[in-house]
Structure 1
Amino acid sequence: MVQQLNGGIARDMVMPHKRHAVSWSFKMTSVPVLGKFRPIVGQCCQQCTPDSLSRYRKTFGQSPRLDFHNILCVDETHTRYRGWLVRRICCVLFVSGRKVYPSPVNSRQESIYESSSVREALAANPKAPEGGESQGQPRHISTFRPLINTCISPGVLRCVGWVMTKMFAAVFASIQVNLNHFEALHRVSEEGSLLVYVYVRQSMLDSLLISLVLFCNNLRVPYTICPIRINNSFLRAILRKIGIIFLPPFASTEQDAEADNLYAPVMTSLVRELLHEGQSLSLGVSAESGQGGQWLARIRQLIKDGSVPDICLVPVGISYDCVPETHMQVSDLFGWLSSLLWRKPEGIVRIHLAQPFTLKEMYASGRCRVVEWRPLQDLLLPVIINDSTVSEFGERKMWWFPPCRSVSESTELAHQESELNTAIAVHLVFSVISCMAVMSTSLLSSLLLYRHRKGVSTSILCRDVSWLTEELLFRNKDVGFGGSLTEVVHYAVTLLAPHLIIAAVPSRQDPLIVPRPTLASTQHLDLQAQIVTHAFILEAVGACAVSAMLSEIASSGISSKVRADSADGDQVKGDLEFDVVLCQLELTERALQLCHLLPPGFRPPCQSSQNFALDAIDSLVRCGILIMEEVQKNVPICDFWKREGALTWTTTDGSYQSDSDCEEQDLLSYKISQPNQCPEMLFFLCNMLAGRLRALSWTTTFLDHLKTPLPEGDFVTQLCSHLCDTANKKKQHYESCSQEAAQAAVGTLIDLGVLMEERREGGIFLGVTPLFQSTQNRQKLQRFISQYLCD
């Protein structure tokens, strides 16, 4: 589905004119990057929420005019007045004219104190001292009073809105939103539905950007669940007047707050009271650790108990040209704000508010099912340890995900509820990432890191940028840039210049661009390129499956012919011809096994892993890497794991086969196509997942040095140190030693049964399970993971 791109949008989307730090020594013809149409992104899931999809289809993104607006660009046309003075105070007039929905506290505090869950938590906590409070409440609950009294003051909100507009103007060149997406939100708001905005945590500015965008478009500013601790009392008091709910004073991290027995019931009661008042909420979910998903579980529990009738979830995709250098834990925010006065604004932010859908429809209809969720060790351990060729069917159960770990009951019903909460959180993460636009820096980072790590000339880079942009639009992925090809590449190179080596040689017509082989630069490029990996996840999984089979064939001693027109040293020119036929069954099983290792957010849980593996192989046929052919029964193919009685899957492009046929069906197989760019494209796709897979492989070697269980925090810290040491020895692959890659590896090994969690007095300790204390089993695990690396 597409939208028409009119001439007006080109002015909003073109790269901002600024003095570039990088100069070009060549000239190229300006070729438009974007065509006449752009994809519509952010539609809700057709399988899980079909009613919401059809209900808001007419009001979501269906306007014939695609209208992007920079909310930092405020002039007299945005006010009711005109004149010389208005042009100088237009921002003040614009802020004062916005609609604000006040939120008095009233009797919120008494309702929370008298709730049954809070009283039960107080009765079960004998350590809480009694007395001393004027209202007769335990002193322990008084620490939550500032959180409960958080409100939205119209005067403070207008003042802070003006300050945020000026602050973001000093940070970003523009903040663009699609105004067509707000029509559906206004309709939902007029119907009286409760809105909950969900975003993926990237920066401490995420929640402020959402509040500012909604404020500027006359929508209710939400109460924001913010996992940040700010020590400055004045700033904390101001932000509480605009609906920011911080951590309690006794907690330095979100994990510390969740460990308190009283925090969960008080926060659940607070959310219930806010929804009863008709307020909106905004919460962020971490794509790596799943933190924030517990809030979705609490809201769902309120709906299930009948305390809240229903809510509408709105995924919000925030895309940065360059993610601001901020941290979740802020010690001196005033110092950071003052530093903005001495820097020039750079970078563009694109915000997509996706189509709203009801939470009750998602879980009550049974369409988002988790009946096949099984422990990862049941799915993969027979393949890893016993060299089994039969893949188990089911979905990966994530024990380390917060909604799962918060459930203490051991009943089967409680586990199903926990798994459903996890599925909803993972689905929201996937929905948010799906509606995020690909920025020019993300596109350039993926090309430099995954395709041209050794360097590329600017002319070839421009050609690849044009090709990759078309591929992204073809996959219904929006891009957050526009203008001519040279402007896009020039702008992206300028933002990424600190992480690049730009060499201009007089003998060359265009400069050579090489990514810096350092830890900071590689991790920055990898962080920017992750959104492209999400767009190509099907092709990446399929390419890794092909690479695994080719490596197995090569190690088995089967030769393949290589046809080359000419050869110069180590470089081979011409077409590569592989006389190898790959069995469809084996390719699909390799892809199925790999998709179990993917971290949350890469695919929705409403799609089965079997269908995902089939789609991964089909995607390689569509993009021309594989060619499908039927092999007769008397023709031998490379089928090392052929067995009888196994379920044979066919691709959607395959011919119809009836189950009633008595004779054995012909096998479907694939050959690698022969175009010159096919091997390069295959390696490009494999490199997208190589960073995470390599981090998982290096983590297995770290287990050799683990003698005793370590606290979870110390384990991750020592693991990151080990990953960095390994990358420094190899002087490459620094993207595999990031904090996110280490956390994802730990979560996978916990699910796989390699690591076990032990709850002790000092917290959660991680140790190696008895099965993998054997060196032989750890080597089998490492070989299983390394087969997907095309090194």
Structure 2
Amino acid sequence: MVQEKNDGMNKDVALPPVQQNRPALSWELKIKKKLTIVPPSLGKFRPVVGQCCHQCTPDSLRKKLGQNNFLGFRNLLSVNETQTRYRGWLVRRMCCALFVSGCKVYASPVSNRLERVCQSNRYLRGKRRRRDARGGVKEALTAEQKAPEGGDSRGHLNRLSPFLPLIKTCISPGLLRVVGWVMLKMFASVLGSIQVNLNHLSALHKVSQEGSLLVYVYVRQSLMDCALIPLVLLCHNLRVPYTVCPLQVYSSSLRSILQKVGVVLLPPSALTEQEAEMDSLYSPVMTALVRELLHEGQTISVGVSAESGRGGQWLARIRQLIKEGSVPDVSLVPVGISYDCVPKANVQVGLSTVLQWLWSLLWRTPGGSVRIHLAQPFSLKEMCESGRCRVDEWLPLQDLLLPVILNNRADSVLGRRRLSWLLPSSHYASEPEEPTHPERDLSITIILHLIFSATSSMAVMSTSLVSSLLLYKHRKGVSASVLCRDVAWLTEELLFRNKDVGFGGSLAEVVHYSLSLLAPYLVIAAVPSRKDPFIVPRPSLAATLHLDLHAQIVTHTFILEAVGACAVSAMLCEVASSGVSSRVRSDGVDGEEVRGDMEFDVVLCQSELTERALQLCHLLPPGVMPPCQLPQSFALDAVDSLVRCGILIMEEIPRDVPICDFWKKEGTLTWTTTDDPYHSDSDCEEQDLRSYKISQPSQCPEMLFFLCSMLAGHLRSLCWTTTALDLIDTPLPEAEFVAQIHSHLCDTADKKKQHYESCSVEAAHTAVRTLIDLGVLSEERQRRGVVLGVSSLFQLSENRQKLHRFISQYLYN
């Protein structure tokens, strides 16, 4: 953490104006008189976020050491005459247009790009550098037309006609400035502020001046992501990137405008990226386009998704170009984008949709803010060729967990879970042959590392903080004063974990502002008999999913503690069900509420607790665990984190013989040779045994269940999906199977009238993909697509029940 300087740079870091036209929130002044607390540390110190990984890219990290001065934030929407070269009354009314016109825009030549793409071949690097036509555009065209190489060029151009607009994508300086001015005006009508962290901008300027190629990577959340990154770079005089947009745009005029400001769209014939990848020419053309853009010195912006794995193929193409030697190196820049309110994005965008949206902005009051963190750039070549990113321990999930689930093994197989679905297979990428496992796993490691880095760079907004408290701690409602107290506590915990927050001001303003934005998804009851209002999340699917979407960043921050808490809960449930200790009261949990005082008088073994945490790590969705850390190391840290936060207390096991006693029970000494590397100095020394007890403070059970509930939604969706296997007739196409699973999740939540966070579309996709990796579902590739069916091993109801018991042990209720 670095001390925050009071140099005037942070004058724009303020809450947007609170909407005062909501009658349900008229209690704000009452709370402000009672609680005018500013959370400690906030305003004095701010965490340093976005630094390179010290394990994978130490050389890139070393370049930034000693430059941790806090430079503050800049609000992009706060444009005044001081940011122009002119002064005066007229300038104050035209300052936005003058500011954009003064921004530096780099040229983008596209003179002979089409010819270079058509003639592109693959380079292979070895002792003798040579060309290889495999996977090149020229070879793909020749193989498709069954003509000799160098055949009919007119036929080649006809086949490439759907990709010609994509290849000719360019950046027009004049049009870019006009679009930048329009976006500033448009965002000013939608948002209260766009705060940009200035810490790593100087490093980006330095790397750009050195001639390094920059690739910006962000986690997909909304269509607004694609517009925010180019706008930020334009306003800070950095090269505007070519942005990969995964949406389909039907309007020809809108497509033409976007392609002239550097937006790489999907082909008109494809609705989704998956459909585009099925074209045999799409992957070679896009790989050649990326190569030519990097040869021209352009930058690229790519969005990745942890749930579907889409977007990772662009990073795999860049890595392949570096491996072949056609591109020397690129600097990857993770970008963390945090929203107060995540805007909804349409999959298909037309001119009428854009016009309707712009018209609605005229009658809308600005609300919400965005926080953008540009992380420190690091070398992709260093990450790949240094050997620090090891992929030799990647194993299928069924090899890691099936022995534990079916055979009741006490220990798990050590290794990392292989997530091959994060990259499209050769069936979709049209590659001539499947890459070897180490190469594919290394590309997946890079994708996971960037997802984790971009998510770690995100600031926690006030709506995320309040949403997590309402979902995970106060599901049945909470008074405003208690909510304010918990907001202050959780803010300190976030800052303690080196997580930046995207809000400021007094505690009452923070809580009132977040509740104003979340009001459509809450029930706020204010009656004269109560001193402060009562707040309850609406028990509906839309409201719960909206709150869960905001709360995911808090779960990412507390993932260590959440894994450890679920492991403790699993052991406590096992002890309670066995009846060993009557002082463990399993009936103390009723749904989400803890009734009375709970007493945990049980000793937990460290090895068994770590083993439970390790098994749970393999079930986590991708992107929440650092891929450069071994799962067993992560499990040990998860247990240690519970000691640090006071849930567990380390207890020494009493020994009959002190450890320092060198005599064995037999009364003789055992001597060993000095060159034996497997023995310590004293062969009589026993292994250091550790155990833990649950601490007894009154808030400990509440904290334990708060952490357990962070992973309950994901684990519950896995349990419900396992149950659904008895109700679905298989085999089915993958899309239809996922749709039926999603329908079953929604029906189950409707019957229970709760747990709606477990029935999102992303939860259904993640659960199905986990069962495929686990060997529960088998994949069969056919011409019409992938068909899913229940494997022969899990057609037995006994094995499905074992799987259900294994997953449900981590659900505390």
Task: Summarize the Cα distance change of 1:318–1:492 in structure 2 as closer, same or farther, 3 Å threshold.
Answer: same
Asked if structure 2 preserves the Cα contact closer than 8 Å seen for 1:574 and 1:676, the reply is no
CA distance in structure 2 between the aligned counterparts of 1:200 and 1:735, rounded to whole angstroms: 20
- Cα pair 2:714 2:758 within 8 Å, conserved: yes
The 2-side partners of 1:474 and 1:17 are apart by 29
Q: Measure, in 2, the Cα distance between the counterparts of 1:189 and 1:7.
A: 27
- CA distance in 2 between counterparts of 1:233 and 1:505 reads 55
* 2:727 paired residue number: 705
User: What amino acid does structure 1 have at the position aligned with 2:541?
Assistant: L
The counterpart of 2:103, out of the listed 98, 101, 121, is 98
Q: 1:88-142 CA deviation, whole Å, 9 max, x = no partner?
A: 1111110100000020211110000011201221233248999999856241211
The answer for the alignment partner of 1:373 in structure 2 is 394
- CA shift at 1:751, angstroms? 0.8
8 A Cα contact 1:178 1:351, kept in partner? yes
1:543 aligns with 2:565: yes
Partner of 1:151: 170
- Partner in structure 1 of residue 421 of structure 2: 400
Given that residues 10 and 483 in structure 1 are in contact (C-alpha distance below 8 angstroms), is that contact kept between their aligned partners in structure 2?
A: no
In 2: Cα distance, 1:407 partner to 1:137 partner: 20
Deviation digits for residues 156-207 of structure 1, max 9, x if unmatched?
0000000010111111110000123211100000100000000000001101
Deviation at 1:712, TM superposition (A): 1.1
Report if the CA contact (8 A) 1:288-1:740 is conserved. Answer: yes
Corresponding residue for residue 717 of structure 1: 739
1:84 corresponding residue in structure 2: 89
Q: For the Cα contact (< 8 Å) 2:13–2:75, is it kept in 1?
A: no
Distance 1:6 1:38 in 2: 12
Q: Which residue of 2 aligns with 1:137?
A: 156
Confirm whether residue 474 of structure 1 aligns to residue 479 of structure 2.
Answer: no
CA 1:13/1:667 → structure 2, altered by over 3 Å: closer, same or farther? same
- Match status 1:252 vs 2:271: yes
Answer whether contact 1:631 1:666 (CA < 8 A) is retained. no
2:785 matches 1:780: no
Match of 2:380 in 1: 359
By how many angstroms is 1:396 displaced? 0.1
Any conservation in 1 of the 2:107–2:171 contact (CA below 8 Å)?
yes
Residue in 1 that maps onto 2:615:
593
Contact 1:446 1:525 in 2 (8 A): yes
| Match 2:26 to one of 23, 26, 45 | 23
Task: Report the Cα distance in structure 1 between the residues aligned to 2:98 and 2:154, rounded to whole angstroms.
Answer: 43
Partner residue of 1:435 out of 457, 462, 465: 457
Q: What's the TM-score, normalizing by structure 2?
A: 0.91
Alpha-carbon distance between aligned partners in 1 of 2:211 and 2:535, rounded to the nearest angstrom: 54
Pairing partner for 2:628 from 599, 606, 614: 606
Question: SS state of the match for residue 549, structure 1?
Answer: helix
Distance 1:679 1:10 in 2: 40
1:576-618 residue CA offsets vs partner (Å, 9 max, x unmatched): 4322000001100000000000111111211000000000000
Cα pair distance change 1:96/1:298, threshold 3 Å: same
Post-superposition offset of 1:572 = 7.9
Provide the secondary structure at the position in 1 that maps to 2:195: strand
Please list, as runs of the form range in 1=range in 2, the aligned pairs for 1:48-127 lying within 5 A after superposition: 48-59=56-67, 62-63=68-69, 65-116=70-121, 117-126=136-145
SS in 2 for 1:318: strand
2:324 is equivalent to residue 274 of structure 1: no
What letter corresponds to residue 57 of structure 1 in structure 2? L
Query: Cα offset for 1:10?
Result: 5.6
The answer (yes or no) to whether the contact 2:142–2:151 under 8 Å persists in 1 is: no
> How many Å separate the matches in 2 of 1:67 and 1:710?
54
Alpha-carbon shift at residue 571 of structure 1 (Å): 9.1
- CA distance in 2 between partners of 1:374 and 1:407 (Å): 23
Aligned to 1:320: 339
Superposition map of 1:469-548 within 5 A: 469-548=491-570
Contact 2:562 2:711 in 1 (8 A): yes
- The offset of 1:339, in angstroms, is 2.0
Is the 8 Å Cα contact of residues 130 and 138 (structure 1) preserved in structure 2?
A: no
Query: What amino acid is the match of 2:368?
Result: G
TM-aligned CA deviation for residue 9 of structure 1? 5.6
- Of residues 164-173 and 398-407 in structure 1, the stretch that sits farther from structure 2 once superposed is 398-407
1:403, CA displacement in angstroms?
5.2
Cα deviation, residue 573, structure 1: 7.7
| 1:46 paired residue number | 54
Pair 1:659–1:709, CA change in 2 (3 A): farther
Residue of structure 2 equivalent to 1:203: 222
- C-alpha change, 1:659 and 1:769, in structure 2 (3 Å) is farther
Partners of 1:124 and 1:773 lie apart in 2 by 43
Give the aligned residue type for 2:330: I
Match of 2:6 in 1: 6
Q: Distance in 1 between matches of 2:215 and 2:497?
A: 28
- 2:358 counterpart of 1:337: yes
Q: Would you say the 8 A contact 1:633–1:667 is kept in 2?
A: no
CA distance in 1 between counterparts of 2:137 and 2:698 reads 67
Q: What residue is the counterpart of 1:642 in the other structure?
A: none
List gaps (5 residues or longer) in structure 1.
Answer: 636-656
- Spell out, residue by residue over 1:731-761, the C-alpha distance to the aligned partner (whole angstroms, 9 max, x if none): 0000000011111111111110111111111
Instruction: Tell me what 2:179 maps to.
Output: 160
Quick check: 1:321–1:440 contact (8 Å CA) kept in 2? yes
Q: Show the counterpart of 1:640.
A: none
Select the residue among 675, 700, 705 that pairs with 1:678.
700
Q: SS at 1:627's partner residue?
A: strand
Kindly state the Cα deviation for residue 342 of structure 1 after the two structures are TM-superposed.
Answer: 2.0
Give 1:771's aligned residue.
Answer: 793
Of all paired residues, the percent bearing the same amino acid is: 69
SS of residue in 2 equivalent to 1:42: coil
**Relative to structure 1, is the Cα distance of residues 335 and 132 closer, same or farther in structure 2, using a 3 angstrom cutoff?**
farther
Corresponding residue SS for 1:313 = strand
Q: Cα gap change, 1:413/1:75 in structure 2, threshold over 3 Å: closer, same or farther?
A: closer
**Structure 2 counterpart of 1:303, one-letter code:** I
Q: Is the 8 A contact 1:407 1:414 kept in 2?
A: no
Structure 1 stretch displaced more, 43-52 or 383-392: 383-392
- The alignment partner of 1:631 has SS state of coil
Gaps (5+ residues) in structure 2? 122-135, 658-678
Once the two structures are superposed, residues 674-694 of structure 1 have per-residue CA deviations (whole angstroms, 9 ceiling, x without a partner) of: 111000000000000000000
Is 1:456–2:478 an aligned residue pair?
A: yes
> So what's the TM-score if we normalise by structure 1?
0.93
Shift in alpha-carbon separation, 1:660–1:530, aligned structure 2, 3 A: farther
Pick closer, same or farther for the CA change 1:267–1:680 going to 2, 3 Å: same
Match in the other structure for 1:632: 654
Letter in 1 for 2:364: R
Kept after mapping to 2: 8 A contact 1:3/1:66: no
* Structure 2 counterpart SS, 1:514: strand
Q: Secondary structure at the match of 2:528?
A: coil
Query: Over aligned residue pairs, what C-alpha RMSD do you find?
Result: 2.5
- Per-residue deviation at 1:764? 0.8
Contact 2:653–2:689 at 8 Å: present in 1 too? yes
Change beyond 3 A, Cα 1:279–1:660: farther
Instruction: Give the aligned partner of residue 310 of structure 2.
Output: 291
| Cα 1:695–1:129 shift into 2, 3 Å | farther
Where does residue 197 of structure 2 map in the other structure?
178
TM-superposed deviation, 1:150: 0.3
| Match status 1:220 vs 2:242 | no
